[in-house]
Amino acid sequence: MAANLVLPYTHTATQPQDASQFMANLRAIITWMNLNAQLLDGSKAMTGQLVGPASDPTTTAQYMRKSYADALVTTEASARATGDLAGVRFGCKVQGDGTQTFNTGAATACSFTSETYDTNAFFSPTSTNVTVPSGGAGVYVIQGIITPSSLNTNGFVITINVNGAVVATGGGATNNAEKSICSAVFTTVQLAVGDVVTLIGTQSNGFGVFATGTLVLQRLGDV
């Protein structure tokens, strides 16, 4: 408000009323409101902090206090660290070094020697196992790729195993005139804390090959 309201006349409780003075006061109030009272539509700059009730919002039409907003930010930051928010990256990508041998007819677990990322200690090099950590239970998308680094004949098959049981099978054609193309497998599966995921490769015919395994686990959300 730009100015204080000033009435031209004042009266005591026992003073007889003068209609002209009453109307003059009323006109003064109307004039002041027209000049000074404003409808704030969001475009007028405020000169101080907006102070509301000392309670958190409960409906969509209510605004939030700073403490409520701060709590939401803290919760989200914690969820990003633990993966509790759906859609937030929570998982790992691990790979081998290309020197592992996959012999004909032998199902071989890929040995992973390094990681591109690992948000919550799913993996510790060097190992064939990727283990779901504490707080990591949920639905995951899993992708496994085995890329031969030497020539071989057709028949390379790979599986994704959880706790030793096959949950997905894939394979890729190869070409003994050139380097073999990769074999890939992809699945979505529910995992619990402590579940162990492995990527298994089998060269079913031809001669053994050197190959690199890559395994990606990405949590999608809660069960």
Q: What is the 3-state secondary structure (H, E, C) of 141-210?
A: EEEEEEEECCCCCCCEEEEEEECCEEEEEEEECCCCCCCCCCEEEEEEEEECCCCEEEEEEEECCCCCEE
pLDDT at 87: 43
Q: List the alpha helices (DSSP H) in 63-124.
A: 66-82
Structure confidence by residue, pLDDT tens digits, 165-220: 999 998 765 555 444 567 788 999 999 999 999 999 887 766 667 788 999 999 98
**pTM of the predicted model over 0.85:** no
Choose between 55 and 163: higher pLDDT.
163
Which of 21-25, 133-137, 174-178 has the weakest average pLDDT? 174-178
Which of 42-51, 140-149, 166-175, 187-196 has the weakest average pLDDT? 42-51
Distance CA 213, CA 185 (A): 11
> Which CATH architecture fits 91-221?
Sandwich (2.60)
Q: Is 191 exposed, middle or buried (0-12, 13-18, 19+ CB in 10 A)?
A: buried
Q: What is the pLDDT averaged over residues 107-130?
A: 93
Query: Residue ranges of the domains in the chain?
Result: 1-37, 91-221
- Residue of 107, 99, 191, 209 lying closest to 142 (CA atoms): 191
On average, the pLDDT of the chain sits at 81
Structure confidence by residue, pLDDT tens digits, 65-96: 888 888 777 665 666 555 554 445 689 999 99
Asked whether residue 134 carries a pLDDT value surpassing 80, the answer given is yes
